[in-house]
Amino acid sequence: MSLFLEGGEPFFFPGGETGCLLIHGFTGAPKEMLGLGEHLAGQGYTVLGPRLFGHSTVLKDMVRARWVDWVASTLDGYYLIRGACTKVVIMGLSLGGALALYLGAHYPIDGLVAMSTPYLTPHPLMKPLRPVIPLLSLIWRFAAKGPSDWRDPEAAKDHVDYEGYPLRGAVEVDSLLAKMRLGLPQITAPVLLMYSRGDATVNAEHAQAIHDDLKSSEVKLMWFENSGHVITRDAEREAVFAAATEFVRQVTG
């Protein structure tokens, strides 16, 4: 019997000397990045998609997750792929993008792709409620997600994620994003930012704020028009795959 949700397993595709580390989002699963990983592997790249701590099992496992646990999960993947490859590109979706940006500020990489990545915690009540959430979460442990923004209903049907999220987890996301923001000016590797105008979670202000804080000499902001938050699996996924693959080719030669 598997400990993981069906389709929630990590993945690895051996390939050439360039490695791509693919990081999924908050309450999501490695499957969010699997299609992109298969596409990159088809181009000859080595690809690793780790599972973040507390994900792809049962929702209550996320209650004890802290932002440093997610960083540790990502670092496990980074060191594994760094040991196998001479060049490393990190890609992340949403929270995974924040983790990619955090690592990019502190560890040597050759390129970075952040997709649907927030600058601040998207929930409007986070700022006023943050001081009391640790106490509030003792009574109200879990919260429901907002309405779906998928454009491809077939892709949405087999999406692997939790139906809600732990209230405490929102605080951990907020803490990670604060660390990410501090590190943005320190990133020197080329960066590709990809967002959708149909994203109901992360709007254009987040994209522009991250773009403006980055001091890398190579930063590109790319927009999609007909996708929701999970752009790696939604209607324009093939265009996302192509853009990410072309970026890897450009930054690794």
33-71 per-position pLDDT tens digit: 999 999 999 999 999 999 999 999 999 999 999 999 999
- The pTM score is 0.94
Task: Tell whether the model's pLDDT for residue 126 goes beyond 60.
Answer: no
3-class DSSP state of 88: strand
DSSP state of 233: T
The pLDDT confidence band at residue 165, using thresholds 50, 70 and 90, is confident
pLDDT of residue 171: 87
The pLDDT confidence band at residue 194, using thresholds 50, 70 and 90, is very high
Options 3.30.390.50, 3.30.420.40, 3.40.50.2300, 3.40.50.1820; CATH of 11-252? 3.40.50.1820
Which segments of the chain does DSSP mark as H helices, in order? 31-42, 67-84, 95-106, 126-129, 133-136, 153-157, 167-183, 204-213, 237-252
pLDDT of residue 253: 87
Task: Tell whether the model's pLDDT for residue 83 goes beyond 80.
Answer: yes
pLDDT of residue 142: 78
Identify residue 165 by its one-letter amino acid code: Y
Q: Which residue has the higher pLDDT, 253 or 226?
A: 226
